[in-house]
Structure 1
Amino acid sequence: MTSTLGLVLRSLTVPLADAPSLDAALREDSLCWVLRDEGMVGFGALSEFSVRGPERFTQAHHWWATLTADAVIEDRVNLHGTGPIAFGSFTFSKVSEHDSRLIVPRLVLGLREGSAWLTMNSFQDDLSEERAKAELTEQLATPTSEQTHALADFELTTGSLSEAEWMAVVAAGVAAINAPTAGSRAVQKLVLARDIVARSAEPISRAKVLGQLISRYRECWTYGVGNFVGATPEMLVEIQSGVARARVLAGTVDRAGAPEDQDYPRRMLMNSEKQREEHEFAVKSLVRELAPFAADLSVPREPFVLELPNVWHLASDVSAELASSGDHLPGTLALLEALHPTAAVCGTPRLEAGALIRELEHLERGPYAGPVGWLDAHGNGEWGIGLRGAVLETAHTARLYAGCGIVGASDPASELAETWAKFRPMLQALGVQA
């Protein structure tokens, strides 16, 4: 944890007439949040807060509120994401041994709505447009790794459980759903995850991994916070000007080997009782937790089919006008604490599903399936669910994660195949798959 006691945060945001593309700006230690070529790339860590435990969201909120309360901010652009921001990643579990963190970059290069900007943050009175641009030029001159990988460069091994062991866990989860223990609330949906490990003889280029994800998965939010990288299709919550939006995903069909039939994904998802049930649990979970913060909620009557390069998902976009308490809207991190974990990554009911995960899964999820994204000094932010990702554990090792929603009709072999479809984005980005 970086101490900021007695220091005043100063921030300058200026427009850029000639900015590089965000993927071209990536460096090995860059912070990243990009969707369809728009978003932000951060350079350097001016200040960082790390925390563990059940109070991680509350403590992070206190740190950020204290840091920004008296900040001196000059924002000449005034778009979503300008001014001082912190990139963040929070663990799935409140008892995780991994750190949750917020990082304030020295520089942020942003692009949104056709406008580019540069933000410079400091604890000294050294901000100027000329200095900010000079430091950006210096950052961009730093070479990234030239390392590229081929299939032969990597060895893939199972992680905490073998495939057979994980399928046995899924079978146990299905049995628990179909035959609940007397005296406890029945679990209706359970999300079980597994991990695999990719080891390379040569160092892994983090910048190239992020660049591949941005290029291949344009409808996903590509994130990079510390050693956690990935491209998530699921928005836990975006807050902008008092409106919260979320994209809920549940229900999956693999595109590999699918027939050339345009109606196939809709038929397999919209007409499947199992897929619709799984999705409905996830939407109801989000709406239930979001409702206390909302003056008005908009929930679609029917989901739509989201097409990604590796899979199709059932998706629903939910929005809410946030209700103020006095003169204040709910804080970004307070919303995260209330919404996480949703049924899409935990199950329902939440407490019973979480207890069953701890009993069955045998996996330290770390930041996987936790909130990842950014927040600003005005209560705005974008927080995805940390899916389709990996932790780069060493220069040569990446641990990949994938999970599946389990309901009473789930088949362990089919769920195992679904995890491989969900591993595919990171395997492609690493160069393990074409």
Structure 2
Amino acid sequence: MTSLRSVTVDLGGLSSSTGILDYLVRDDAHCWIRHGAGLVAFGEAARFTSSGPDRFSDAAEWWRRTARAAEVDNPLSAPGTGLVAFGSFAFSKTSAYESRLIVPRIVVGADESGAWLTLISDDGGAELTADAARAELAGWLEEVSPEHGPDGADTLHPGQVSEEAYMAAVAAGVERIAGGGLTKLVLARDLVADLSSPIATAQVLRELAARYHDCWTYSVDGLIGSTPEMLIKVEDNVARARVLAGTLDRANTHKIEGESDAAYAERVLAGSEKQQHEHEIAIDSLTRKLQPYTSAMTSHSEPFVLELPNVWHLASDVSADLALDGGRTPSSLELAEAVHPTAAVCGSPTEAAGDLIRELEQMDRGPYAGPVGWTDGAGNGEWGIALRGAVVETPTRVRLYAGCGIVEASTPEAELAETWAKFRPMIESLGLRR
């Protein structure tokens, strides 16, 4: 295995009001962005792929060996600095999708304390200095990818799962839940966008990041989107997660006269026994899986209403102090394996729900609803759930995914409508019409 070398340079602060988005100008960039902070990266110094039930442990072991062997010059020693890998993992252990970790050549990062630049090389003789890092970045930024305007020739059509097939799957799922054996099931469907010219990925990501600033906008090797759900974040031995379950479409409201949006969402969403039940299942799933790795854990006693441009969600934030195991705390990648999949994207109990998903959905989710994010050499990282996103299959074909939590009180028509609300961020960012 070729050893990697890296150098990290302190950039001070970013002067622009749009922050790290200024660097998101190429369609081949990897990114992880929220509130103008995060990471944007270019190129590839190393790659690891795996599939099957051992995809997480194989990747974690490769990353441990890679980080241990690397020569790292990092005076900042903050999360996201030094050696970094971006990753995307298949939702299912049976998926044909290759889960991956990608170590980029150049990374620009920013948080509330400042900005930095990291150059990574697999060339033992390469010059690794601050000047070399700046020159490498300038070279990547010379070529700006073109934008894609609305085009009447762009089309949106059903993917592997039609509307009729989806509603039939929901009806079958409700029947199985009513019969016992599981309490929740998450079912998804897909759409295909065929474009008249190559997708302007950077433009799509900038629009998502600007409109959905409370979400985490991601791009890893053709998987793009803006997720509202944090599977696990590890920073300085503290783990955090944001769990969502319970959704209300903002485009189809039935407010009482004089009722504000916030009051409507609180009444209809937070006041719904069905939505509260679905959320309780999801939060219990996450905390139960996380508990063995922690010494203390806190979460909201009641979920709060998260307002996004397209929907409202019931949300809960969880924070946990990580426990030592063999003299070290678990890494973000190890915890991502431990808590995936949560009931928010699979169901409960997990094994029964996963088996039923494979039976009823009749499609390979690939990376949809799997962990997406980044990790550094110290074990810090952020892994979101790949929701509100799409896979770029060819330069002119993009596959979108959306799913809904099914409980005994669910109806096929309502769940189908909810998928359309969840498709909306990607459809609008692609400049398409339903």
Query: Would you call these one fold, judging by a TM-score over 0.5?
Result: yes
Is residue 398 from structure 1 mapped to residue 398 from structure 2 by the alignment? yes
* Paired residues of 2:239 and 2:320 also in contact (CA < 8 A): yes
- Aligned-pair Cα RMSD in Å: 1.3
SS of the residue 2:334 aligns to? helix
Distance (whole Å) between structure 1 residues aligned to residue 366 and residue 170 of structure 2:
20
Is residue 131 from structure 1 mapped to residue 132 from structure 2 by the alignment? yes
Residue type at the aligned position of 2:403:
G
Select which of 221, 224, 234 maps to 2:216: 221
Residue type at the aligned position of 1:73:
V
Deviation at 1:145, TM superposition (A): 1.7
Distance (whole Å) between structure 2 residues aligned to residue 295 and residue 32 of structure 1:
32
* Paired residues of 1:148 and 1:205 also in contact (CA < 8 A): no
Q: Which residue of 1 aligns with 2:104?
A: 105
**Any gaps of 5 or more consecutive residues in structure 1?**
181-185
Normalising by structure 1, what TM-score?
Answer: 0.95
Post-superposition Cα deviations, 1:359-387, rounded to whole Å, max 9, x if no partner, equal 11111100000000000111110000000
Deviation at 1:309, TM superposition (A): 0.5
SS of the residue 1:45 aligns to? coil
* Paired residues of 1:424 and 1:433 also in contact (CA < 8 A): no
SS of the residue 1:76 aligns to? coil
Residue type at the aligned position of 1:127:
L
Matched pairs, number: 423
Task: Tell me which moved more, 424-433 or 91-100.
Answer: 424-433
Is residue 252 from structure 1 mapped to residue 247 from structure 2 by the alignment? yes
Q: Which residue of 2 aligns with 1:66?
A: 65
Distance (whole Å) between structure 2 residues aligned to residue 406 and residue 427 of structure 1:
24
Q: How does 1:179-194 map to 2 (within 5 A)?
A: 179-180=179-180, 186-194=181-189
Is residue 320 from structure 1 mapped to residue 315 from structure 2 by the alignment? no
Distance (whole Å) between structure 1 residues aligned to residue 393 and residue 344 of structure 2:
26
Post-superposition Cα deviations, 1:36-92, rounded to whole Å, max 9, x if no partner, equal 100000010111111111100111011111111122211133332111110000000
Is residue 299 from structure 1 mapped to residue 299 from structure 2 by the alignment? yes
Residue type at the aligned position of 2:21:
D
Distance (whole Å) between structure 1 residues aligned to residue 54 and residue 129 of structure 2:
37
* Paired residues of 1:310 and 1:421 also in contact (CA < 8 A): yes
Distance (whole Å) between structure 1 residues aligned to residue 21 and residue 331 of structure 2:
31
Q: Percent identity?
A: 53
Distance (whole Å) between structure 2 residues aligned to residue 285 and residue 203 of structure 1:
40
* Paired residues of 1:13 and 1:74 also in contact (CA < 8 A): yes
Q: How does 1:42-81 map to 2 (within 5 A)?
A: 42-81=41-80
**Any gaps of 5 or more consecutive residues in structure 2?**
none
* Paired residues of 2:333 and 2:381 also in contact (CA < 8 A): no
Is residue 95 from structure 1 mapped to residue 94 from structure 2 by the alignment? yes
Post-superposition Cα deviations, 1:309-355, rounded to whole Å, max 9, x if no partner, equal 00000000011111101311113222111100000000000011111
Residue type at the aligned position of 2:252:
G
Deviation at 1:146, TM superposition (A): 2.9
Post-superposition Cα deviations, 1:131-163, rounded to whole Å, max 9, x if no partner, equal 11011111111121232234x232111111211
Distance (whole Å) between structure 1 residues aligned to residue 12 and residue 361 of structure 2:
50
Deviation at 1:24, TM superposition (A): 2.5
Residue type at the aligned position of 2:51:
R
SS of the residue 1:402 aligns to? strand
SS of the residue 1:143 aligns to? coil
SS of the residue 1:153 aligns to? coil
* Paired residues of 1:153 and 1:202 also in contact (CA < 8 A): no
Residue type at the aligned position of 1:292:
P
* Paired residues of 2:34 and 2:213 also in contact (CA < 8 A): yes
SS of the residue 1:408 aligns to? coil
Q: How does 1:171-182 map to 2 (within 5 A)?
A: 171-180=171-180
Distance (whole Å) between structure 1 residues aligned to residue 405 and residue 13 of structure 2:
45
Q: Which residue of 2 aligns with 1:234?
A: 229
SS of the residue 2:44 aligns to? strand
Residue type at the aligned position of 1:25:
Y
Distance (whole Å) between structure 1 residues aligned to residue 185 and residue 102 of structure 2:
32
